[in-house]
Structure 1
Amino acid sequence: MNTADLGLPVDVPSTALFTDHYELTMLQAALKAGTAERRSVFEVFTRRLPEGRRYGVVAGTGRVLDAVENFRFDPGVLGFLRERSVVNAETLDWLAGYRFSGDVWGYQEGEVYFPGSPIMRVEGTFAECVLLETVILSILNHDSAIAAAASRMSSAAGERPLIEMGARRTHELAAVAASRAAYVGGFTSTSDLAAGFRYGIPTVGTSAHAFTLLHDRERDAFQAQVDSLGRNTTLLVDTYDVAEAVRTAVEIAGPELGAVRIDSGDLLLVAHRVRQQLDELGASDTRIIVTSDLDEYAIASMAAAPVDAYGVGTQLVTGSGHPTCSMVYKLVARAESADPTDPLVPVAKKSSGGKTSIGGRKWAARRLDEHGVAEAEVVGTGPVPEELQERQLLVQLIRDGQVLSRESLDVVRERHVAARANLPLSATQLSRGEAVIPTEYV
């Protein structure tokens, strides 16, 4: 796999520098102390959901697998570390041969999660696992935040399709990842061609206000677009007077006009007026697409409006107010020596301030009620109860450093739909509340 597949600039040879300085200094100190090769278990989890959210969405797993596979300290990276004196020569020698050779387990991408859910578990030596902390967290925190916002918007939209249009509202590389995460969460297409190229997401787009303003008359702009793209195109009708624009659009394209887009004003009111006007003009099959700083609340408010699709940008790519999931990557168990047969000892941070952790290598399962609806997230460190054996959530993603399989985004999307459908109905409420099911520790 090349770096373009990861959304990286072509001159970045690996993902090895997507890390924090202190991870390398910890490595150096552990190598000197003789503790670097102790078998260790790190887990990714969040202590709480973003305020008001009822569930989280696991997204970015596929990108994590790519990042781990491409985590290599090539000569250019090693030269940078040597020049900056980040680590000593012995550590540079160790890094030159770095290849992750451990195991990774995780919730499947598209699954939902809750506070304390061990959504990813990384096992290997301390040295090889600690280096992956930042790249794993940066991917999962970003992508899961976007997917959660997308899921809420998808739920609010019902059967109406959602278009991701946020590329110009975020970093150019984050935009590609955001489009992928939005697709996982329920969006159907994107305006970002890089996302379409890398991930096969359907792309859409026609014109902006600049195209209308380029021409001497709105009529000329509409005619040029129809001549080029056909009658099934989408015409932007709110550059000047909406009613006049709709009338002109139907005159030029006829009742076969594909859609009109409204990007300003009172969208609810304007959509009703445009729908009535289109029907009176005989364009009853022409769809109405609305854009303009939408979020899940605005989408929900238009549930009864004659709208056929929504385009969402800023609020989506910023997580609709929650741009991160506050996931952490914590050491939860380690051996007492470098002997690979040594048993694992649970470890955990015990300081005050709400940042305590639970030690031990964990499993997770979702208990269902008699109707097949989720009623609890069960997390434990001992034997898995027999009644939960078939409900376990962690699957192996990497074995001995080798990625076991990769899934298509369509499979991931379908998984999310099924996972959300298995939650209590209150999961889709937009009103603020706690996690829709509790996390129980056994």
Structure 2
Amino acid sequence: MTSTALLTDRYELTMLQAALADGTAHRPSVFELFSRRLTGGRRYGVVAGIGRALDALEQFRFGDDELAWLRDAEVVDAPTLDWLADYRFTGSIWGYAEGEVYLPQSPVVVVESTFAEGVLLETLLLSILNHDSAIASAGARMVSAAAGRPCIEMGSRRTHEQAAVAAARAACLVGFAATSNLEAGRTHGVPTTGTSAHAFTLLHDTERDAFSAQVDSLGTGTTLLVDTYDVAEAIRTAVEVAGPGLGAVRIDSGDLVALAHQVRRQLDDLGATDTRIIVTSDLDEHAIAALAAAPVDGYGVGTSLVTGSGVPTSGFVYKLVSRADDTGAMVSVAKASTEKTSVGGRKFAVRRLTGGVARTELVGVGEPPAHDGDDRSLLVELVRAGERVHRPTLQQSTAHHQSAMAELPLVATQLSPGGPVLDTLLG
């Protein structure tokens, strides 16, 4: 097992040391992970990374190597090292299911434990959920803009090698059909796809030679890249080589709208009426929406997806909202800074529906809000007394995402900057 214990910030351990020394480390506490506002002027966010975070929690152990490094680096004192050697999270965690829609102040994760056990999880949970939810939030907008046409994730070359795997998983969660990343296929079961780049065409003496080699190796159902030289000439050559049963052609440059119409007419004239047109080239949700009226059959998305389409983090924070006082009674606590105000108290959330359409997010403070008979509870139990109890498959989480998106009012599909699609009522 590879430990995740040092995927954290130093101040988590120095806080632990001081709390152990003054006796407050074992106070029952509640931490919550939430976003004060939606980043990028978006109308909703999508929770992703819950499964990865729970996997990481199961590996959050301070073994001999981790303890030796902390000792040599003089990060914490000997009593703290002794405590860390026996660390096991024994508390409970609730959270929004993966794929769920979240809004400002949504209690995306609620950690109930001692202060010592809960504070150590801050950086780990934030780093995973901030990244994966940013990718999922961007990807959901792309899938919505694609309006049923498949999207393919192909951004591995534009991000950190491990972030690429997580991004492919998050993209699949919100409806991307496949990824170019093989490790995402092996680790998460995401379907993989890919054929050739311009280098393969340039390797050969002629474009015909390249197409013939690819078709001979991969079959007529392959996708031929047709914009290395002259697109019209490449289409003619592609159909001559593969026949009218050619699977697809890919366009990676130029005026994609105009080229898609040109290529569709040419393919149809050549009898390749079932050959699909795939477009790539720095697509984001806005470019995809602009191609809605073009005869395009699928989109390959890279840089914009793996960078959150300009919003690479979800803005989640992790705050202590309740803890026991000297008498053992739980009291609400909150930061009172003018620009970073938090709301104290343990939260409970439901989504109020009318005729199957979401209208409001209700967040109860200290106790669950009263149901009106058409509400959906949003928090699910993730960890109970230190044991993980939530293990949905990626396919199940995708289905949950689709259901949550189907509840949103139509305004949620708008790509222009705006306020949250639902109001959040705290009380």
**Residue matched to 1:16:** 5
Partner letter of residue 350 of structure 1?
A
2:346 is aligned with 1:357: no
Partner of residue 258 from structure 2, selected from 262, 269, 272:
269
> 1:182-261, aligned counterparts within 5 Å?
182-261=171-250
2:384 is aligned with 1:399: yes
Q: CA deviation at 1:405?
A: 2.7
Please say if residues 367 and 388 of structure 1, whose CA atoms lie closer than 8 Å, have aligned partners that are also in contact: no
Query: How far apart, CA to CA, are the structure 2 residues paired with 1:256 and 1:51?
Result: 43
Query: How far apart, CA to CA, are the structure 2 residues paired with 1:236 and 1:80?
Result: 51
Please say if residues 158 and 306 of structure 2, whose CA atoms lie closer than 8 Å, have aligned partners that are also in contact: yes
- The alpha-carbon distance between structure 1 residues 434 and 111, as it changes in their structure 2 partners (threshold 3 A), is same
Please say if residues 397 and 404 of structure 1, whose CA atoms lie closer than 8 Å, have aligned partners that are also in contact: yes
Q: Which runs of 5+ in 2 are unaligned?
A: none
Please say if residues 221 and 246 of structure 2, whose CA atoms lie closer than 8 Å, have aligned partners that are also in contact: yes
Please say if residues 362 and 369 of structure 2, whose CA atoms lie closer than 8 Å, have aligned partners that are also in contact: no
Partner letter of residue 379 of structure 1?
V
Query: How far apart, CA to CA, are the structure 2 residues paired with 1:17 and 1:175?
Result: 21
> 1:38-187, aligned counterparts within 5 Å?
38-187=27-176
Query: How far apart, CA to CA, are the structure 1 residues paired with 2:409 and 2:337?
Result: 35
Q: CA deviation at 1:389?
A: 8.6
Query: How far apart, CA to CA, are the structure 2 residues paired with 1:296 and 1:62?
Result: 26
Query: How far apart, CA to CA, are the structure 1 residues paired with 2:368 and 2:208?
Result: 71
**Residue matched to 2:330:** 344
Could you tell which deviates more after superposition, 258-267 or 50-59?
Answer: 50-59
Q: CA deviation at 1:349?
A: 0.7
CA RMSD of aligned residues (A): 1.1
Query: Where in structure 1 do 4 or more consecutive aligned residues deviate above 6 Å?
Result: none
Partner letter of residue 348 of structure 1?
A
SS at match of 1:86: coil
Q: CA deviation at 1:387?
A: 1.8
Please say if residues 30 and 127 of structure 1, whose CA atoms lie closer than 8 Å, have aligned partners that are also in contact: yes
Partner of residue 308 from structure 2, selected from 319, 322, 340:
319
SS at match of 1:255: coil
Q: CA deviation at 1:390?
A: 5.0
**Residue matched to 2:358:** 374
**Residue matched to 1:418:** 403
SS at match of 1:374: strand
Q: CA deviation at 1:186?
A: 1.5
**Residue matched to 1:5:** none
Deviations 1:265-322 (A, max 9, x none): 0000001000000000000000000000000000000101000000000000000010
Please say if residues 103 and 399 of structure 1, whose CA atoms lie closer than 8 Å, have aligned partners that are also in contact: yes
Q: CA deviation at 1:51?
A: 2.8
- The alpha-carbon distance between structure 1 residues 295 and 224, as it changes in their structure 2 partners (threshold 3 A), is same
Please say if residues 43 and 331 of structure 1, whose CA atoms lie closer than 8 Å, have aligned partners that are also in contact: yes
Please say if residues 352 and 374 of structure 2, whose CA atoms lie closer than 8 Å, have aligned partners that are also in contact: no
Please say if residues 105 and 397 of structure 1, whose CA atoms lie closer than 8 Å, have aligned partners that are also in contact: yes
**Residue matched to 1:427:** 412
Quote the sequence identity (%).
Answer: 66
Q: CA deviation at 1:78?
A: 0.6
Please say if residues 38 and 125 of structure 1, whose CA atoms lie closer than 8 Å, have aligned partners that are also in contact: yes
**Residue matched to 1:7:** none
Query: How far apart, CA to CA, are the structure 1 residues paired with 2:5 and 2:197?
Result: 40
Please say if residues 31 and 112 of structure 2, whose CA atoms lie closer than 8 Å, have aligned partners that are also in contact: yes
Q: CA deviation at 1:413?
A: 0.9
Query: How far apart, CA to CA, are the structure 2 residues paired with 1:284 and 1:40?
Result: 63
2:23 is aligned with 1:34: yes
Q: CA deviation at 1:226?
A: 0.4
Q: CA deviation at 1:421?
A: 1.1
Please say if residues 257 and 283 of structure 1, whose CA atoms lie closer than 8 Å, have aligned partners that are also in contact: yes
SS at match of 1:315: helix
Please say if residues 352 and 361 of structure 2, whose CA atoms lie closer than 8 Å, have aligned partners that are also in contact: yes
Query: How far apart, CA to CA, are the structure 2 residues paired with 1:324 and 1:92?
Result: 32
Please say if residues 366 and 388 of structure 1, whose CA atoms lie closer than 8 Å, have aligned partners that are also in contact: no
SS at match of 1:311: strand
- The alpha-carbon distance between structure 1 residues 388 and 130, as it changes in their structure 2 partners (threshold 3 A), is farther
Deviations 1:374-406 (A, max 9, x none): 111111123431426952110110001111031
Query: How far apart, CA to CA, are the structure 1 residues paired with 2:388 and 2:65?
Result: 25
Please say if residues 347 and 368 of structure 2, whose CA atoms lie closer than 8 Å, have aligned partners that are also in contact: no
> 1:273-288, aligned counterparts within 5 Å?
273-288=262-277
